[in-house]
Structure 1
Amino acid sequence: MKNELPHDLVRTLLAVVDEGTFDAAAAVLHVTPSAVSQRVKALEQRAGRVLLTRTRPVRATESGQVVVRYARQLARLEGDARAALGMDGESDAGTAAAPTWLAIAVNADSLATWFVPALSALTQDARIHLDLRREDEAHTTELLREGEVLAAVTSSPDPVAGCSVRPLGAMRYLPVATPAFAARWLTGEPGDWAPRAPVVCFDRRDDLQDAFAREATGGRPASRLRHYVPSSEGFAQAVTAGLGWGLVPEEEASAGLRSGALVAVLPDRTFDVPLFWQQWRLDSPALAVVAEAVASAAAHSLRNPPTA
């Protein structure tokens, strides 16, 4: 029927998006590039809209992202069905079965602190393999929306279409700097120094320091004199080196505060970022195992769970 989305066509579109080119997708699917092109065109005709932008790499259009999400859900459900039927054991040739891949978006600070220890619960199941995508917690839902990942640690309690939301807890950040930097730049009220003191930011999408400054000053953002350090460990090192003040996760800042290498910029102020687990609404045993492991680790590592 014209309105159906044949699985072979849907899988072909996903292969093109994942591989980036028609030629690469053809190699993975063991067909010719011409066959891949014909399948994509046939799917676009059935959908009545363009699904791919023919660029390098190929990108899914907004409509294409809907089909990509559907394709990933199909692949995940098929994998779970094969496992439930005992079809994921060794093949007839004696080779190990393909692993269960789960793509998950996680913010850098969670990766550097509590998230990776949560994965220790998965060591008993060698079939589950993770593909972690690092992204700012305010933007991880974009990867969910685009169909790039099945789940995400995010600061957004608003569910992406087709996803469920579970509160994890709040990550606490401490505004810190070196004693020498604080003595030079951070004297007086926050409204005096925040607009002029150099600040360390994760990247150009990082609004954490600005949000803290606005809260502390009644609306004024942090200084435009800033250093961008797109690594959680590097960020903390940049602050410890005296390049600027910054918000460092409590777990990472504690040692520096105890040793005297760091001082609290405003001792009576902290900044909490609520985190949530969003995942596709799939009856997937593998995804459920990961979700429980993440929630358990978050309950022990994060502040009181927020309300969704």
Structure 2
Amino acid sequence: MDLQLDQLRALAAVVDEGTFDAAARSLRVTPSAVSQRIKALETAVGRVLLLRTKPARVTESGAAVLRLARELDVLIADTAAGLAADTGAGPLAVPLVVVANADSLATWMLPALAALGDRVLLELRREDQAHSAQLLRDGTATAAVTSQAEPVPGCTSTLLGRMRYRPRAAPAFVARWFPDGVDAPSLARAPVVHFDRKDDLQNRYLRSVSGPAATPPEHYVPGSWDFAEALRLGLGWGMLPDLQDTVPGALVRLDEQAAIDVPLYWQQPKLRTPALDLVAAAVAAAAKDQLL
């Protein structure tokens, strides 16, 4: 199978930009050239790789080829960085796309990555830990923090640790909605705050106390800091990681015995590169220091 670098880059550009025209602008070629490269790549592979939708999406086969394109770009950038250092031209930063859940980015992960800014150009994608592996699977990301232990095909999976979440709310909210403590009836009435519609942590706690029938009023606040602030302001109760409960007295636990531990794994391609190893080591060190 003869796969050309310009064809692989055309595939990545169409996925990143969403359309053939936008990909052509990013590659500084004509849309016709992009179309020809994609057709040649599909001919070489013998399968349809792109769904010509808006935005364009890869097929299952296309995801595998897209992962190859991402890995080759990282290898090429790593090689260029090494050659620049050898010739005294100064270090070149290597671009990497890393996906992680919002709570990790807001607490333990960003400080670890900040020190790498002169060696790695990071594009951080935010996704729920239960869904982040999909961005690695479809070739969108180069590496991921995920709650999925099973490695994506072609990747390794390493346990980083666990984030502990507990049900929390503002003291005044607890006094109003849970004057006699937490039980199924009070949880069915009290407003709850979700991060977004993929966030299942609150529902997991609800099911453990009230069963599947509880349907309290629901709010959605899709930002890690904003979510914590919404709880502090009394919008509702929610599952907040211990690492974010940093304002003394601002929040109290609804249930002293309740906790949900979310395991986090680092997944990256089996093909190792200096840039990926650098990021993986920084993430692992921070996780060891901050996670359970």
TM-score, length-scaled by structure 1 = 0.87
CA distance in 1, matches of 2:17, 2:86: 24
- Report the AA paired with residue 124 of structure 2: L
Does residue 230 of structure 2 align to residue 238 of structure 1?
yes
Q: Deviation of residue 27 (structure 1)?
A: 2.8
Q: Does the 8 Å contact 2:100/2:129 carry over to 1?
A: yes
CA distance in 2, matches of 1:211, 1:15: 39
Say which SS state the counterpart of residue 160 (structure 2) adopts.
strand
Say which SS state the counterpart of residue 105 (structure 1) adopts.
strand
Q: How does 1:56-135 map to 2 (within 5 A)?
A: 56-86=54-84, 99-123=93-117, 126-135=118-127
Q: Does the 8 Å contact 1:165/1:277 carry over to 2?
A: yes
Does residue 251 of structure 2 align to residue 262 of structure 1?
yes
Does residue 291 of structure 2 align to residue 297 of structure 1?
no
TM-score, length-scaled by structure 2 = 0.92
> Greater shift after overlay, 145-154 or 3-12?
3-12
Does residue 161 of structure 2 align to residue 197 of structure 1?
no
Q: Does the 8 Å contact 1:210/1:221 carry over to 2?
A: no
CA distance in 2, matches of 1:298, 1:244: 29
Match of 1:288 in 2: 277
Does residue 208 of structure 2 align to residue 215 of structure 1?
yes
Q: How does 1:142-221 map to 2 (within 5 A)?
A: 142-186=134-178, 187-217=180-210, 219-220=211-212
How big is each residue's C-alpha offset from its partner over 1:236-290, in whole Å with a ceiling of 9 and x where there is no partner? Answer: 11111111111112122242xx32x322101122221111111111220011011
Q: Pick from 217, 220, 227: which aligns with 2:219?
A: 227
- Report the AA paired with residue 52 of structure 1: L
Say which SS state the counterpart of residue 194 (structure 1) adopts.
helix
Q: Deviation of residue 120 (structure 1)?
A: 3.5
Q: Deviation of residue 23 (structure 1)?
A: 2.2
Match of 1:50 in 2: 48
CA distance in 2, matches of 1:68, 1:18: 11
CA distance in 1, matches of 2:201, 2:276: 30
Match of 2:15 in 1: 17
- Report the AA paired with residue 289 of structure 1: L
CA distance in 2, matches of 1:253, 1:174: 10
- Report the AA paired with residue 272 of structure 1: D
Q: Which runs of 5+ in 1 are unaligned?
A: 304-308
> Greater shift after overlay, 19-28 or 168-177?
19-28
Q: Deviation of residue 11 (structure 1)?
A: 2.0
Q: Does the 8 Å contact 1:195/1:224 carry over to 2?
A: yes
Q: Deviation of residue 88 (structure 1)?
A: 8.3
- Going from structure 1 to structure 2, the CA distance change for 1:87 and 1:14 (only over 3 Å counts) comes to farther
RMSD value, Cα = 2.1
- Going from structure 1 to structure 2, the CA distance change for 1:87 and 1:36 (only over 3 Å counts) comes to farther
Say which SS state the counterpart of residue 245 (structure 2) adopts.
helix
Say which SS state the counterpart of residue 148 (structure 1) adopts.
coil
Q: Does the 8 Å contact 2:181/2:254 carry over to 1?
A: no
Give the number of equivalent residue pairs: 291
Q: Does the 8 Å contact 1:198/1:223 carry over to 2?
A: no
Match of 1:41 in 2: 39
How big is each residue's C-alpha offset from its partner over 1:164-198, in whole Å with a ceiling of 9 and x where there is no partner? Answer: 11111111122111222222322345323223321
Identity rate, percent:
53
Q: Which runs of 5+ in 2 are unaligned?
A: none
CA distance in 2, matches of 1:299, 1:292: 11
Q: Does the 8 Å contact 1:88/1:98 carry over to 2?
A: no
Q: Does the 8 Å contact 2:81/2:91 carry over to 1?
A: no
- Going from structure 1 to structure 2, the CA distance change for 1:21 and 1:98 (only over 3 Å counts) comes to farther
| Runs ≥4 residues deviating over 4 A | 87-91
Q: Deviation of residue 85 (structure 1)?
A: 3.5
Q: Does the 8 Å contact 1:82/1:88 carry over to 2?
A: no
- Going from structure 1 to structure 2, the CA distance change for 1:262 and 1:202 (only over 3 Å counts) comes to same
